[in-house]
């Protein structure tokens, strides 16, 4: 996993609530057997018109959001299907952090496993960032995981919460399978006690 | 201290705990399907890791399998690669696969309970959000969906690190009226608490209406928990559960069954145990529900109308209602019964078990589907399909003009070729009505199997409580 420490980048606004993973990566693209290359399909049915042309009214197609690496969006982002293809697509597209009032559980978990930081801020803060992204060309923020802050050059500053363990894993880019494998003795001891009929 | 069913399940599976870290949970049953597993196996190989417990791991192909003639080669080359990749991975790592052509194939959440793989007191995971919801929870098991990286984690270690969720009790009062099913109960709950009402929580369903549901009804109810944002949904096991498991291929038998029974009986919430949240639902006042929008929480009773965006409490709510109505091509105040449909889909891990098909067939019996409707039934598994055929249910559907298909997820997620065309409106027994879920531009209304059947005959939504059954 790529470590996440401090990241500054352009902000893109997707002003919708309850964006589900079917929208993030529509199912017709779930047939690949690799982890890479999903960025091309990100928000496909919103980004492209039925004839394959980019949809000019979809916010991520606005030239001002080109190259954005931080997504600001509405509550309950990533609800629905557990497909990890959703964070893979966001990462592949170039996003490093998503800022929203809340996230669906499985999605947030999947993001953390892929070095994509889900940042929960209050409704008013998210609305403020959204308004600034809408009003300012080249609007940038800095997400600092060492200090758990989101800041911009216009004086915005907000602290966010994240589990300490997850923060450490992201900061160090740790593979948590490796961590679990170190607990082999405990796993083996647990297995001996399991009921016979499910062994 | 009195504890909840969830706490008992959780505590019985913690392998390792350390302050400030997620707990490491042992997984008793790991189910795989072709869409979310290939990258996990690739990860194992890249790290030269093996599968720790192949005998606790089972796989089936369901999401991308064609539902037409199985003797033909798979038309979509990419789906074929995915299905073949699963078979290769299972061979290489010694995992039992209920393949595309096997007599046990079916939707992963249908076959787990059906084969007796899912048992009370277990932890069950699958790289699929409906694990939480699907049947396993109905057994007093802790079953939840995980991502592909976690699938890899479980393959390698048989454990998964998890933060402890909070608990929610959904306490039902009274019994569901005639014609109101487990699906309606689920939709009614989501309508009440919202699609993020249970985020971060594990739901335990209790009360008269839940106890009197059949096992299959409980599976439907638990299936939809994820649509309320929950990590998992569960019902405490009772005699009905134990009876259901008797004689299933992977369920314990003989002396082991006695030991298992004693163990299973311990998995219930103690009197006085505290939940983080309690929600009350008056089951006796529920009606059959129909979703009108693009999220399962956008739902009203059959006697209701399409809402007016102007009635929304917040600007955001007004905006999302407006957007949903535009996508669904519905005008505010339209009576639900006046909405005409083009397609009917009876299937999915929510509603494709034998009882669902029986309930729908009872409505269909003696009728023909409306001339403007195309309808299909996709049984949840080969076992369901065989049992339905033995009862002549397939004939009832066929004579009415339904297509009778091979098991799989099919139009629940609209993998080609089972998709809606743009603009088509579908009464569907599945669980998600997101934009484009059943095909780009397709419009999905979630309903119960009986309501879907009645809509197929009438050509529009109709109140199944007033249906004239031709027995
Ligand atoms: S039937 Fe639908 S919800 Fe269930 S597992 Fe298949 S795709 Fe997912």
Confidence label for A2 from pLDDT (cuts 50, 70 and 90): confident
| Subunit contact B415:A106, Cβ cutoff 8 A | no
- Average pLDDT of the residues of chain B: 94
Task: Determine the straight-line distance between the first and last CA of chain A, rounded to whole angstroms.
Answer: 33
Retrieve residue B226's tokens: 């994820």
| Subunit contact B259:A195, Cβ cutoff 8 A | yes
Averages of pLDDT over each 10 residues, chain B, 471 residues = 96 94 96 91 89 96 86 80 93 95 93 95 90 70 91 97 96 97 97 92 96 95 92 94 95 94 96 97 97 96 97 89 96 98 97 98 98 98 98 98 96 87 97 93 97 98 97 74
Confidence label for A161 from pLDDT (cuts 50, 70 and 90): very high
Mean pLDDT, rounded, for A54-75:
94
Q: What is the pLDDT, as a whole number, of residue B134? A: 52
Cβ–Cβ contact B223 with A under 8 A = no
Q: What is the C-alpha separation between B245 and B120, in angstroms, rounded?
A: 10
Mean pLDDT, rounded, for A148-164:
96
Q: What is the pLDDT, as a whole number, of residue B133? A: 57
Cβ–Cβ < 8 Å for A96, A7: yes
Angle at the Cα of B42 from the Cα atoms of B40 and B44, rounded to 5 degrees: 70
Sort out which chain B residues have CB atoms less than 8 A from A20's CB and list them: 295, 432, 434
Residue nearest atom 6 in ligand 1 by C-alpha distance: B409
Residue with tokens 């005959």: B457
Cβ–Cβ < 8 Å for B40, B127: yes
Q: What is the pLDDT, as a whole number, of residue B377? A: 98
* Domains in chain A, number: 1
The domain that holds A24 is classified in CATH as: 3.20.19.10
Q: What is the C-alpha separation between B438 and B431, in angstroms, rounded?
A: 11
Q: What is the pLDDT, as a whole number, of residue B72? A: 76
Q: What is the pLDDT, as a whole number, of residue B120? A: 95
Q: Residue A18 domain-assigned? A: yes
Cβ–Cβ < 8 Å for B192, B228: no
Q: Residue A32 domain-assigned? A: yes
Q: What is the pLDDT, as a whole number, of residue B143? A: 94
Q: Residue A185 domain-assigned? A: no
Cβ–Cβ contact A40 with B under 8 A = no
Q: What is the pLDDT, as a whole number, of residue B77? A: 82
Q: What is the pLDDT, as a whole number, of residue B48? A: 86
Retrieve residue B320's tokens: 């999302």
Q: Residue A178 domain-assigned? A: no
B348 ligand 1 Cβ < 6 A: yes
Ligand 1: which atom is nearest the Cα of residue A81?
Answer: 8
Sign of the Cα pseudo-torsion (A64, A65, A70, A72, in order)? positive
Among B167, B165, B143, residue whose Cα is nearest residue B27: B143
Among B342, B420, B341, B350, residue whose Cα is nearest residue B378: B350
B470/chain A closest Cα distance in angstroms:
39
Cβ–Cβ < 8 Å for B14, B24: yes
Pairing of strands B277-282, B166-173: parallel
Q: Residue A183 domain-assigned? A: no
Cβ–Cβ contact B75 with A under 8 A = no
φ and ψ of A23, to 5 deg? -80, -35
Q: What is the C-alpha separation between B231 and B164, in angstroms, rounded?
A: 10
Cβ–Cβ < 8 Å for B116, A52: no
Sort out which chain A residues have CB atoms less than 8 A from B35's CB and list them: 30-31, 83
Retrieve residue B232's tokens: 């998992």
Cα B33 to averaged position of ligand 1 atoms, centre (Å): 11
Cβ–Cβ contact B159 with A under 8 A = yes
Q: Residue A177 domain-assigned? A: no
Cβ–Cβ contact A94 with B under 8 A = no
Q: Residue A74 domain-assigned? A: yes
Sort out which chain B residues have CB atoms less than 8 A from A126's CB and list them: none
Q: What is the pLDDT, as a whole number, of residue B136? A: 66
Cα A156 to averaged position of ligand 1 atoms, centre (Å): 43
Q: What is the C-alpha separation between B281 and B278, in angstroms, rounded?
A: 10
Q: What is the pLDDT, as a whole number, of residue B135? A: 53
| Maximum mean pLDDT: which of A17-21, A166-170, B169-173 | B169-173
CA A69 to chain centre: 10
Cβ–Cβ < 8 Å for B132, A81: no
Q: Residue A114 domain-assigned? A: yes
Q: What is the pLDDT, as a whole number, of residue B205? A: 97
pLDDT at A108 over 70: yes
Residue B22 is classified by DSSP as P
Q: Which domain holds residue A81?
A: 6-172
Q: What is the pLDDT, as a whole number, of residue A8? A: 97
Q: What is the DSSP string of A72-103?
A: EE-SSBTBS---THHHHHHHHHT--EEEES-B
State the Rg of chain A over Cα: 19
In angstroms, the Cα distances linking A103 to A49, A77, B28, B180, B322 are 27, 5, 28, 32, 23
**ipTM of this predicted complex?**
0.91
pLDDT at A164 over 80: yes
Sort out which chain A residues have CB atoms less than 8 A from B436's CB and list them: 22-23, 26, 45
Cα B194 to averaged position of ligand 1 atoms, centre (Å): 21
Cβ–Cβ < 8 Å for A12, A125: no
Q: Is B117 helix (H, G, I), strand (E, B) or coil?
A: coil
Q: What is the pLDDT, as a whole number, of residue A194? A: 95
Q: What is the pLDDT, as a whole number, of residue B404? A: 97
Q: What is the C-alpha separation between B363 and A173, in angstroms, rounded?
A: 57
Q: What is the pLDDT, as a whole number, of residue A148? A: 97
Q: What is the pTM of this model?
A: 0.89
Q: Please name the member of A30, A33, A104 whose beta carbon is closest to the beta carbon of B199.
A: A104
């Amino acid at each position: 996993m790529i470590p996440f420490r401090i990241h500054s980048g352009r902000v893109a606004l997707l002003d919708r609530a309850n964006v589900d993973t079917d929208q993030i990566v529509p199912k017709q693209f779930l047939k690949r057997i690799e982890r890479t290359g999903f960025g091309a399909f990100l928000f496909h049915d919103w980004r492209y018109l039925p004839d394959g042309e980019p949809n000019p009214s979809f916010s991520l197609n606005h030239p001002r959001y080109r190259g954005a690496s931080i997504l600001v969006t509405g509550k309950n982002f990533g609800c629905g299907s557990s497909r990890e293809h959703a964070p893979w697509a966001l990462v592949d597209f170039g996003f490093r952090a998503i800022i929203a009032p809340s996230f669906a559980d499985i999605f947030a978990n999947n993001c953390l496993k892929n070095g994509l930081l889900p940042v929960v801020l209050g409704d008013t803060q998210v609305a403020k960032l959204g308004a600034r992204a809408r009003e300012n060309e080249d609007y940038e923020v800095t997400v600092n995981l060492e200090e758990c802050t989101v800041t911009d050059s216009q004086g915005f500053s907000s602290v966010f919460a994240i589990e300490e363990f997850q923060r450490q894993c992201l900061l160090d880019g740790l593979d948590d399978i490796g961590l679990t494998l170190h607990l082999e003795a405990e796993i083996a001891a647990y297995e001996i006690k399991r009921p016979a009929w499910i062994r | 201290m009195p504890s909840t069913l969830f706490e008992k399940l959780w505590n019985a599976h913690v392998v390792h705990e350390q302050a400030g870290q997620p707990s490491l949970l042992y997984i008793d049953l790991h189910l795989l399907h072709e869409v979310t597993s290939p990258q996990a196996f690739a990860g194992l190989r890249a790290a030269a890791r093996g599968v720790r417990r192949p005998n606790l791991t089972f796989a089936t192909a369901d999401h991308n399998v064609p539902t037409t003639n199985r003797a033909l080669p798979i038309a979509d080359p990419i789906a074929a690669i995915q299905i073949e990749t699963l078979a290769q991975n299972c061979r290489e790592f010694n995992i039992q696969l209920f393949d595309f052509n096997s007599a046990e194939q079916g939707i992963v959440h249908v076959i787990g309970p059906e084969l007796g793989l899912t048992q009370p007191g277990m932890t069950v995971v699958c790289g699929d959000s409906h694990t939480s919801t699907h049947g396993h929870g109905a057994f007093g098991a802790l079953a939840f969906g995980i991502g592909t990286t976690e699938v890899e984690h479980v393959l390698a270690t048989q454990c998964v690190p998890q933060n402890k969720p909070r608990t929610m009790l959904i306490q039902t009062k009274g019994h569901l009226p005639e014609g109101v099913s487990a699906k309606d109960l689920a939709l009614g709950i989501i309508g009440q608490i919202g699609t993020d009402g249970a985020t971060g929580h594990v739901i335990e369903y209790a009360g008269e209406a839940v106890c009197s549901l059949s096992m299959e009804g409980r599976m439907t109810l638990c299936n939809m928990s994820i649509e309320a944002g929950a990590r998992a949904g569960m019902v405490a096991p009772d005699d009905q559960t134990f009876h259901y498991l008797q004689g299933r291929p992977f369920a314990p038998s003989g002396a082991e069954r006695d030991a298992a029974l004693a163990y299973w009986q311990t998995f219930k919430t103690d009197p006085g145990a505290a939940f983080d949240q309690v929600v009350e639902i008056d089951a006796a006042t529920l009606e059959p529900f129909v979703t009108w929008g693009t999220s399962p929480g956008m739902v009203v009773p059959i006697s209701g109308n399409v809402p007016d965006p102007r009635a929304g409490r917040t600007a955001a709510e007004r905006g999302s209602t407006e957007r949903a109505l535009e996508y669904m091509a519905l005008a505010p105040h339209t009576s639900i019964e006046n909405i005409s449909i083009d397609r009917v889909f009876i299937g999915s891990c929510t509603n494709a078990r034998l009882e669902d098909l029986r309930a729908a067939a009872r409505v269909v019996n003696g009728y023909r589907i409306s001339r403007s409707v195309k309808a299909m039934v996709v049984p949840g598994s080969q076992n369901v399909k065989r049992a339905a055929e033995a009862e002549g249910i397939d004939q009832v559907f066929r004579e009415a003009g339904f297509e009778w298909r091979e098991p799989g997820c099919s139009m629940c997620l609209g993998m080609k070729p089972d998709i809606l065309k743009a603009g088509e409106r579908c009464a569907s027994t599945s669980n998600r009505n997101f934009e484009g879920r059943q095909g780009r531009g397709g419009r999905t209304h979630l309903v119960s199997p009986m309501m879907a059947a009645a809509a197929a005959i009438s050509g529009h939504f109709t109140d199944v409580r007033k249906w004239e059954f031709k027995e």
